[in-house]
Amino acid sequence: MFNFILFGPPGSGKGTQSVKIAEKYNLVHISTGDIFRKNIREKSPLGIKVQSIIEKGELVPDSLLIEILEDALQQHAKAKGFVFDGFPRTIQQAKDLDAMLARRKESVSLVLALEVGDDEILKRLLKRAEIEGRKDDTKEVIANRIEVYNTQTQPLINFYKDKKKFQSIDGLGGIDQIFTGICKLIDQHIK
């Protein structure tokens, strides 16, 4: 299996690139943000629980993430591998993911970060707000999401560096150009 984590701040292009990667390498794309938004739209018990947290730009509690991931892994038991997009976002989630994969005799194959600076992120997210109207793309909430990323998610870089699984790539440029760079790195790691 090839278990790939696309890592980066909000607005770094993870969603766009993840879809392309999943398609090219025949992997299952798991976006925890998409899963939450679907649940909010459907007003499911999970959606009702997480709605106000997401609208504030805070992180959903780790315990809920394990449930969602366990569910997704079970649903796709025959998958060739996964592209994780927006997960893990805390050290605890990364440890939980390791444990979940280990139970299946699997592990994280590669973590690739899209590097984009704060100013560019702010610009991109404000533009996305106009197009998609996401409730968590207001200026105030964006600032909080960047802060949450810097304090709670960035420590994962060292976590995966220690495991020699971390690589990064410039997230500025055209979609296809960045995709080509990502594919080159994946091709060096995929069996």
- Contact residues: ligand AMP, CB under 6 A: 10, 32-33, 36, 53-54, 57-60, 65, 86-89, 93, 136, 145
Rama region for 105: left / alpha / beta (φ>0; ψ in -120 to 50; rest): left
Of 93 and 109, nearer to ligand AMP (C-beta) is 93
Residue 125 near residue 137 (C-beta atoms within 8 A): yes
Residue whose CB is less far from ligand AMP, 138 or 190: 138
Cβ proximity to ligand AMP, 126 vs 190, nearer residue:
126
Does residue 113 contact residue 8 with C-beta atoms inside 8 Å?
Answer: yes
Q: Rounded to the nearest whole angstrom, what is the least distance from the CB of residue 94 to ligand AMP in the complex?
A: 10
Residue with Cβ nearer ligand AMP (29 or 145): 145
Minimum Å gap between C-beta 125 and ligand AMP is 9
Encode burial over 130-142: b for 16+ CB neighbours within 10 A, e otherwise: eeeebebbeeebb
Q: Which is nearer to ligand AMP, 27 or 96 (CB)?
A: 96
On whether the CB atoms of residues 188 and 6 are closer than 8 A, the answer is no
Rounded Cα distance between 109 and 189, Å, is 8
DSSP letter, residue 13: S
Residue nearest to ligand AMP (CB): 33
Copy the structure tokens of residue 51: 């709605």
Q: How far is the CB of 14 from ligand AMP (least distance, A)?
A: 7
State in angstroms the smallest separation of the CB of 143 from ligand AMP. Answer: 12
Provide, rounded to whole angstroms, the least separation between the CB of residue 49 and ligand AMP: 12
Question: Cβ neighbours of residue 120 under 8 Å, at least 6 residues apart?
Answer: 11, 172
